[in-house]
Each structure stands twice: as C-alpha cells, then as structure tokens.
Amino acid sequence: MSDSVGPGGSHGQAGSDGASSKTMRVVEHFRELRRRLILAIAGVLLASVAGWFLYTPTVDFMSEPLAEIADTNAQLNFQTISAALDLRLKVSLWLGLLVSSPWWIYQAAAFIGPGLKRRERLHTIGFGLGGLILFAGGAYSGVLVAPRAVDILVSFVPEDGAALISAASYVNFYTYLVIAFGLSFLVPELLVAMNFAGLVRARSLVKGWRVAVIAAFALAAVINPIPSPLPMIIQALGMLALYCLAILVAYLHERRVAKRDRRDGDPADSARER
C-alpha cells in the first residue's frame, strides 16, 4: 500500500492552506482594527478630561454675543437639576473629539495606510490636509457669523420681555452653525475626490454651473440663520468660488493624466489609476 498522495489530494491540501491563510489575514485585520479603535477611543477620552477644564472658557466664549446685547435680558438657563452637568459632559466630549482629532485621524491612516500604494498615500495626505484647512475656514466663518445671528434673533424679543434661553439649546445652535459652515466648505473637495476617482469630469462640472449656483444659494439659505440676504449671498459666493477652484484642480488633474497617457502609451492603466 503506497503512502503517496495523489494529485487530487495535493490540490485539496493546497486549497485548504490558501483558505486558511486568507482566514488568518482577515483575523489579523480585525485585530489591528480593534487595536486602532481602542487607541483612538482612549485618546478621545483622555482629551475629554482636558475638555472638562476647558468647558468654562469655551461656554464663556460662546455666550459672549448674549453678554454684549445690553438692551435685552437674554441669559442662559439650566432647566433641570442635572442640566448643567449634562451640558458640561457633552461639551467636554466634543472638545475631546476636536482636540484629539490628529490622534484618531492618525490611527485611521495607520490602519488603511499599509494597503495603499505610494500615489494613493500622497492623495490621502493631500485630501486630508486640504479638508482640514477647508473645514477650519468654514468653521471660522461660522464663528464670525454666530454673534451677528444671535444679535438679530434676540432683537425680536419685546422690550418688556426676557429671553430665557436654554443653555443646551443655545450650545446646540452654536455648534450646529459652526459645523454646518465647516461642512459646506468640504463640498468642493468631495467633487475633486470624485474626479480623482474617475466618477466625474471637469467638463461635467463646468456644464453643471447652473445647478451649482442653485445648490449653493439653497444650502446657504438653509444653514444661515440670519434673516438677511447679504450673509447668505456672501456665503453662497464663497462656495461658488471654491466650486470654481475644484473645477480648476480637476482640469489640471485630467491634463496631467492625459500627458502621462501620451508618454506611457497605455491609457487603460492611467484610467484605472484615476
């Protein structure tokens, strides 16, 4: 009786080893994901401790517009016994998430980085830095708009009335305003990312300028709380300027890819890289 293994047995063992290897890789990826998540959450929690001590100056800064309104009795109110504690915990967590953002962004990049090619890593870094700058610029514009918005909205309180404003609702309003302005400035980068992925062409963005104008003014009208057309127009024009910048970046990218196509003589590979 021979102990040799036939061809079918060899192929079966090879297939079993391949499946086992794939399973091991999947398990390793999940372990790495779990490790990165734990590190990211730990960083947010530690930064939230710092946010606990930054709560008072942060809320004081947010409530400055109310303090500057001398002809009204506007003031922040805590409507339940635990409202002040709840608000402090919430603000501390938000501050922790913001302060620790470089840390958890790094954890995300460290997880996906090994699976990316060099060009993809450069694109990821570029889009990350660009998104950070755009969001910061939009959020700063929201901080500039907030005092004016509070001033106008509180001005509708009658002279013999008092604006008893819930502290939680006021902080939510302020936070929503800043985040909404920040996210609105990220729309052009999303279009550029779609262009790099080959999902949209610069020519299509140029042809869709009418839709872009309508969308910019509609979005500005939704997220802008000031009942005045001037701030809405300024914000819409800012988003349209970023839209034009996105078209320029997309055009330059397509031009660079076309040059590489002519040089390499293999447009199919370049199209896949896009």
Same domain, 140 and 32: yes
Q: Provide the residue range defining the domain that includes 63.
A: 23-185
Listed in sequence order, the residues at least 6 apart from 93 whose beta carbon sits closer than 8 Å to its beta carbon are 44, 48, 51
Q: For residues 180 and 200, state if they share a domain.
A: no
Q: Are 243 and 132 part of one and the same domain?
A: no
As a whole number of angstroms, the distance between CA 89 and CA 52 comes to 7
Whether 174 and 194 map to the same domain: the answer is no
pTM of the model: 0.70
- Per-residue pLDDT at 264: 75
Look at residue 1 and tell me if it is in a domain: no
For residue 39, name the pLDDT band (cuts at 50, 70, 90). Answer: very high
- pLDDT for position 86: 92
Same domain, 149 and 255: no
- How many distinct structural domains can be found in the chain? 2
pLDDT range class, residue 13, cuts 50, 70, 90 = low
Helix (H, G, I), strand (E, B) or coil at 164: strand
**Same domain, yes or no, for 124 and 209?**
no
**Does the residue 11 lie in any domain?**
no
Residues 86 and 180 in one domain: yes
* Residue 52 CB contacts under 8 Å (≥ 6 apart), including other chains: 88, 92
Contact present, 58 and 95 (Cβ < 8 Å): yes
> Is 139 inside any structural domain?
yes
pLDDT tens, residue by residue, 221-255: 888 777 778 778 888 888 899 899 889 988 888 88
User: Does residue 204 sit in the same domain as residue 172?
Assistant: no
